Amino acid sequence: MAETHHTDMLIVGAGPAGYTAAIYAARAGMNPILVTGMQPGGQLTITDEIENFPGFAQPVQGPWLMEQMREQAEHVGTKLIYDLITEAPLKQGPDEGGYFHLKGDSGDQFRARTVVIATGAQAKWLGLDSEKKYQGAGVSACATCDGFFYRGKEVAVIGGGNTAVEEALYLTHHASTVHLIHRRDSLKAERILQKRLHDNPKIKVHWNRAVREIIGEGSPAVVTALELTDTQNSTNTERLAVDGVFVAIGHSPSTGPFRNEVLCDEEGYITTQPGTATTSIPGIFAAGDIQDKIYRQAVTAAGTGCMAALEAERYLAEKKYNS
């Protein structure tokens, strides 16, 4: 039987932003409900070691960190519901009682006086079976997360836009050589970034090349090489020895049913007022990678989750709702 849930705050998404918003909301007595979505824990569930989240002297496992956040959120009073929001007619505004109406894939109805959208963004992948096989064993989509593990080693960055060039430049602080693999003969990145890339002696660009296979060896198996193919002559292939591969062909915001309800940019990221988590609709907030295409870090996501909860608390106080 479908249920109807009422709450002062509905949080959609179970990553660092969503869990942090839940923790703050619960401690403020807002009785939050968190709908987990398809991937509870978000991108950190496929991150093996995290060294840059404050508070841990030793590296921690991504899934473990998300489990701790979940337990903390529940401990302080958050109700978790394993469902997926499929309908969110936010433009019509709240009803007479101040509730926005949303619906889950299960058929459950959600009535929320504030909503925090924390559905995140997903890295775009090449789609190779070997790419999936070696995720966490030499394949990554975040240089700032994992670059430290490749100090003095050779790595490859796949892509040709701003993200790829920025990742390549960042990796030069750790790796001995950075190979930029691009399927065309020119980059799409901004000119100033291209100049920095070409001026850096640690970076070698491989033009008109696509990744055909990611190769690994050892027990457990880790990345040892790439098999590249010539995009202008597919019969030409070559093997490039590398210790790590960073896929940097972009991200896709997981906007889902919110895409046409709140103001988004041309890429689908939710637009928030500068310095806030406030969206184009009063009472609706966005936190984490769904509204951040620059930093994309667990700690910044958590920070915006805190902002969203505090702003939602202020919104409810101004409305003088009685829970």
Which residues are catalytic, by number?
142, 145-146
Tell me if 73 sits within 8 A of 89, measured CB to CB: no
Nearest by Cα to 145 from 118, 174, 119: 174
H or E segment to which residue 300 belongs: helix 298-319
| Calpha distance 175→173 (Å, rounded) | 6
Q: Please, what is the Cα angle at 109 between 106 and 113, to 5 degrees?
A: 140
One DSSP character per residue, 118-143 reads ---EEE-----HHHHHTBTTTEES-H
Sign, Cα dihedral of 303, 309, 311, 314: negative
Tell me if 118 sits within 8 A of 18, measured CB to CB: yes
Query: Which amino acid appears at position 257 of this protein?
Result: P
Tell me if 146 sits within 8 A of 140, measured CB to CB: yes
